[in-house]
Structure 1
Amino acid sequence: MNDLTGTLTNSEVNTLTNQIEALTQKSHAQLVVLVVETTGDETIEQYATRVFDSWKPGDKDRDDGVLLLVAWQDHTVRIEIGYGLEGIITDAQSGKIIRNNIIPAFKKGDLAVGLQKGISDLESRLTGNNLATITPTDHPLPFSGWWALLVWAIVLTFISARGYIKTLGVICFAAIVLAFVLPIAGFSGSWGVLATLLCFATPFLAVAIAFTPFGKKVRDLMRDVNQPSRHTRSNSSSHYSSSSSSSFDNDNFSGGGGSSGGGGASGRW
């Protein structure tokens, strides 16, 4: 429970903290509550995303974190849902919790009651599902696996064309090892399957590139196109900074590595 505004009394903070801990014990999900004065130049959605990305509430594999963010001076509130809970607490349900339970109390100036009711509603929805048995969320591939195979083949061909034979050998050895280690380590889902298949395919691609006539032609072509050059590369970096009258700090909370895809809802009173 993080109240950066000082609006809540010590007793109210303790009550809310106990309520949050009870929710975590019952549902295994991780709820974080943050109250700030304002989100500054950011929208509450942008601010919530930044907090979620920084604090990473929820289990890394289950992505079962929830952020309840209140900008008291701005009169805005946001419930941000982790990937793994988007099927349990939908955007519509998040909006209903905000409209029916949180905002009515906030309109009366009662921050503690609004938070208590919101947390209670979240708990009832979360404990109605056995979150401990939820399998890790599978994030679908944004592209075809064949494209990944083609790109990987081009990379291996480039390495061979530049004469880095030892490097190619090391890559093949590592790929063979990983092809057996990844499934044993539990890397499943779309990304895990793709990585395993690429590892299995690597030795065969390397042999085809190094010893077949077609592979030789492709290597020669890439060697002609990619002549060494003396261009100097420079790295640039960008720095993002944001300020508001109440800014959160990484020291306030450290989660279990959860992530959010922007699911949830916002409200204003």
Structure 2
Amino acid sequence: MTLRVWCAAIVATLLIAFASLAVADVAVPQLTGRVVDRTGTLSSSDIAALSQKLRDFETRKGSQIAVLIVPTTDPETIEQFSIRVAEAWKIGRKKVDDGAILVVAKNDRHLRIEVGYGLEGALTDVTSRRIIDEVITPKFREGDFAGGISAGVDRMMRVVDGEPLPAPSRSVNFANLDDIGPLAPFALFASLIVGGILRSLLGRLLGSVATGGVIGLLALLILGSGALALLAGIIAFVLSFIADLFPASTGPSRGGSWSSGSSSGGWSSGSSSSDSGSFSGGGGSFGGGGASGSW
């Protein structure tokens, strides 16, 4: 084979490779939070406010809603791309399938609401299309993408609120475990003081139990979390029970132990103003329900 033929073969191979890359599907972005913007359309404050709204909704209702903004889905249609996103992200609870994703392809001027199996009775194709046409796209046409997305998410949440779904797991309250961090010094001091009084009146065991109950009740009233109240009560009981065994250890070192045990980095990342990679889908399934639109 001559040199000219070899060169022609190499050029043809490169052209085929470049053509394949040109028509390759857009990669599904990593799920780094409830709002993933690959276009820089939303400001950091927009993302923080929207993420907090979706986090509060999940805590209250159990359903997960996510937002994705990409420049384009080309060469796929937005329907093809959205279902790939849904299958990769698995938004919604496993076996409840109560997830929904608002996907916006900004440069294509297309958007879609992808709905999990468990919400298809509420977020029907017709309802999803009305949300797109009546709520989201009018604001998009005015250039108000943040307003359109926020209004669309609000309407989606109102619709899902009317759907009877399993109650959210109470363990979700542990996502705010770092809320107890600022109260740790007070809780430590209170458990030792209250524990000392109650132990002198009721005895060591009953006094410690009573101390745990008092501190747990205070934690419930302040934090509004049964899980955190139980944790605070148990810690107060232990501290009260062993307080007189280590009289030299009732100072800062024991307070340091409480703080490090209740505000670890893992919990902190779960309750920051942005999701910071802590958010993940719950295992929900999708079957292509929802609606698409353009502006």
TM-score computed with the length of structure 1 as normaliser = 0.55
Paired residue type of 1:3 = D
**What's the counterpart of residue 135 of structure 2?**
101
* Aligned residue type for 1:264: G
Cα drift, residue 252 of structure 1: 9.3
Q: Which whole-Å CA distance do the structure 2 matches of 1:46 and 1:40 have between them?
A: 10
- Kindly provide the amino acid, as one letter, of the partner of residue 73 in structure 2: T
CA shift for structure 1 position 19:
1.4
2:114 aligned partner: 80
Distance 1:261 1:103 in 2: 24
Q: Does the CA-based 8 Å contact 1:27-1:130 persist in structure 2?
A: no
Amino acid at match of 2:92: G
Is the 1:56–1:259 contact (alpha carbons within 8 Å) kept by the matching residues of 2?
yes
Aligned pair 1:257/2:283, yes or no?
yes
3-state DSSP of counterpart to 2:56? helix
Report the more deviating stretch, 6-15 or 259-268: 6-15
AA at the equivalent of 1:86: E
Written as runs of structure 1 = structure 2, the 5 A alignment for 1:120-159 is 120-132=154-166
SS of the aligned residue for 1:131 comes to coil
Question: Does the aligned pair in 2 maintain the 1:38–1:74 contact within 8 Å?
Answer: yes
- Unpaired runs of at least 5, structure 1: 135-250
The 1:46–1:252 alpha-carbon spacing in structure 2 relative to 1, beyond 3 Å, is: farther
Cα deviation, residue 26, structure 1: 2.6
Alignment of 1:186-265 (within 5 A): 254-265=280-291
Q: Does the 8 Å contact 1:26/1:127 carry over to 2?
A: no
Instruction: For residue 96 of structure 1, report the CA deviation from its aligned partner.
Output: 0.4
The Cα offsets for residues 108-149 of structure 1, whole Å up to 9 and x where unpaired, read as: 111100011001001111112232269xxxxxxxxxxxxxxx
Going from structure 1 to structure 2, the CA distance change for 1:36 and 1:261 (only over 3 Å counts) comes to same
Partners of 1:79 and 1:264 lie apart in 2 by 5
Determine the structure 2 residue equivalent to 1:218. Answer: none
**Residue 160 of structure 2 aligns to which amino acid in structure 1?**
L
- Structure 2 residues without counterparts, runs of 5 or longer: 1-34, 169-276
Is 1:24–1:30's contact at 8 Å kept on the other side of the alignment?
yes
- TM, length-normalised to structure 2: 0.50
Determine which structure has greater relative contact order: mean sequence separation of CA pairs < 8 Å that are 6+ residues apart, divided by chain length: 1
Larger Rg over CA atoms:
2
Q: What SS does the aligned partner of 1:50 have? A: helix
Contact persistence 1:98–1:267 (CA under 8 A): yes
Check the 8 A contact 2:103/2:111 in 1, yes or no.
Answer: yes
Whether 1:92 aligns to 2:126 is yes
Q: Identity of counterpart residues, as a percentage?
A: 46
Regions of 4+ moved over 2 Å = 251-254
2-side partners of 1:25 and 1:94: how far apart? Answer: 23
8 Å CA contact retained: 1:36, 1:70 = yes
Counterpart selection for 1:48 from 82, 103, 115: 82
